[in-house]
Amino acid sequence: MKRRTFLKTTAPMAAVFPALLGGFPIKAFAGSIPFFGGWDGAADNDHVLVLIQLFGGNDGLNTVIPIDIYSNYYNLRSNIAIPESAILKLGVNDKSGLHPSLTGLQGLYQNDQLAILQGVCYPSPDESHFRATDIWLTGASSNQYLNTGWVGRFLGETYTNYPVGYPSPSMPDPLAIQIGSVLSPTFMSSGGNTAMAVPEDADFYGLINGLTSPEPDTPMGTEVTYLRTIARQTNKYAGVIKTAYDKVVQQYAGYPANNDLAAQLKTVARLVAGGLKTKVYMVNMGGFDTHGGQVVGGATTTGNHAQLLTQVSEAITAFMKDLKFLGQDKRVLGMTFSEFGRRIVSNGSLGTDHGAGQPVFIFGDAAQTGILGSSPDLPATMDVEAVVPMQYDFRSVYSTILRDWFCVPASDVSTMLLANYQYLPFIQSNACANVITPVLDIGSDLIRVYPSPFLESTDITYKTNGGHTMIQVFDVAGHLITVLVDQVYNGPGTYYVTFNAGYLAAGIYYARLQNESVTQVKTMLKGTK
């Protein structure tokens, strides 16, 4: 193969060549002119977002456990349920608690550094790992296919015309960094990737010292050598990464050993403290597809899921202590997410199958400590196909981060996310000096269904405090059946709407109320004649 042909077939057009240093690639794929104009919000602050992706679908019901409806929780998954006495209490809100492996996160909550969001999902969830992951990374709806990611759209508007003119005096560093060898679609802008990939801590020294694995003594090996040489000459950011990494001579000594997530986060902390202006970092951890063997029979606080959550908790806790040690704790906000949660009812293999709603953890000094949302409404008996219903749309989480952490104007947020989403107050107001609308305490019984069970129709009575109000109906698998109300009210009031369900099969349905930042979900049962 000719050298020119080799390069043409292995490097994407308008891309900086991947630097294969230490046997790991640094990829800095070029973006093109974004599809809309620039602004200065995020570029004017030093805020950093760290995304932690938990591959496989984390079982949210055994992560954040409903104490207030514990008996129903236990009956629906008795072979994997965490004993009530072992649940970690949170002190302020004992309606929910944490898996006993999450002692580190419990400490962050009690230290005002953790927000918990319940039932995060989207209408009509997809249970395919690949498609669900794509939806979360791009910010798409279940019937929508996007070739850009939500972070890529954000960075593309913030740093207009990237990569033309970059590095620049105002932004000399990579816009985003993924720890690992494969770049996430979340960083894709309209014309290319806005991120680059670097290896984790254990392999970083080989990268910065230019160490490489031996090339094979073949014609292909010769081309690899040539490509590596070109990469070292053309990579714009390898030098600034090395400089940032070398600036930090000491880190927190308590990172756990044999914890890959901790190693990734240690690298992130070092690069942040080294002075990089990089806005978004992404790390990941696998193993959460727990169809079987999620727990040890008869000892449900142990097993595969417990080990995974221990690693997550210890890694995040060490990372937070390291950021404080390095003087960077005010700059960083973190978020955990998985492609979906698991089903409500456990299976016969001491595991859980693909579901929908999941808890999301927001951690950092800027997190507004508390639990947003309530325990899922769990009847005493439930269909095996039932999923944890949606309380909050995952894109509402993204919207709030862009608005209240990266200081993006609300109008630009809706452009970046391709729609307008519910605002959620889980970031402290001083992060962007925004006006934070707290969750209004207008009662716990905001939506009622009567009669239930019903045969043909039922009335849904709901309270609103004014503003945008929506009533949606979902089936037990999370599919959106209908939107009964979607309007703006001038002030508070109580209203009702009739749900005509004669055409639907008998079974459990969910009525979801959304009123500004308030959300409540109520179960209703359609009976048989």
| pTM summary value | 0.87
Residues 6+ apart with CB under 8 A from 506: 526, 527, 528
State the span(s) of the chain assigned CATH 2.60.40.3080: 438-526
Q: Which CATH class is domain 48-417?
A: alpha beta
| Euclidean distance between CA atoms 61 and 119, whole angstroms | 10
Residues 6+ apart with CB under 8 A from 347: 291, 292, 353, 384
- H-run or E-run covering 129: helix 129-138
> DSSP 3-state assignment of 439?
coil
| Euclidean distance between CA atoms 373 and 358, whole angstroms | 11
Strands of the sheet containing 480-489, edge to edge, are 480-489, 467-475, 507-515, 518-526
Q: What are phi and psi of 408, to 5 degrees?
A: -85, 130
| Euclidean distance between CA atoms 497 and 246, whole angstroms | 63
Paired with 114 in beta bridges are 363
Q: Characterize the bridge pairing of strands 96-98 and 467-475.
A: unpaired
State the span(s) of the chain assigned CATH 3.40.720: 48-417
| Euclidean distance between CA atoms 295 and 300, whole angstroms | 5
Residue 43 amino acid letter: A
CATH number of 438-526: 2.60.40.3080
Q: Which two tokens stand for residue 282?
A: 């992404």
| Euclidean distance between CA atoms 364 and 323, whole angstroms | 10
Sign of CA dihedral 292, 298, 301, 307: negative
Residue pLDDT tens, the chain, 529 long: 333 333 333 333 223 323 322 222 333 333 332 333 344 567 678 999 999 999 999 999 999 999 999 999 999 999 999 999 999 999 866 899 999 999 999 999 999 999 999 999 999 999 999 999 999 999 999 999 999 999 999 999 999 888 888 888 989 999 999 998 778 999 999 868 888 888 766 455 455 445 455 555 665 555 555 445 434 433 678 888 889 999 999 999 999 999 999 999 999 999 999 999 999 999 999 999 999 999 999 999 999 999 999 999 999 999 999 999 999 999 999 999 999 999 999 999 999 999 999 999 999 999 999 999 999 988 888 889 999 999 999 999 999 999 999 999 999 999 999 999 999 999 998 888 776 666 555 556 899 999 999 999 999 999 999 999 999 999 999 999 999 999 999 999 999 999 999 999 999 999 999 998 899 999 999 998 7
Number of Cβ atoms within 10 Å of the Cβ of 222: 14
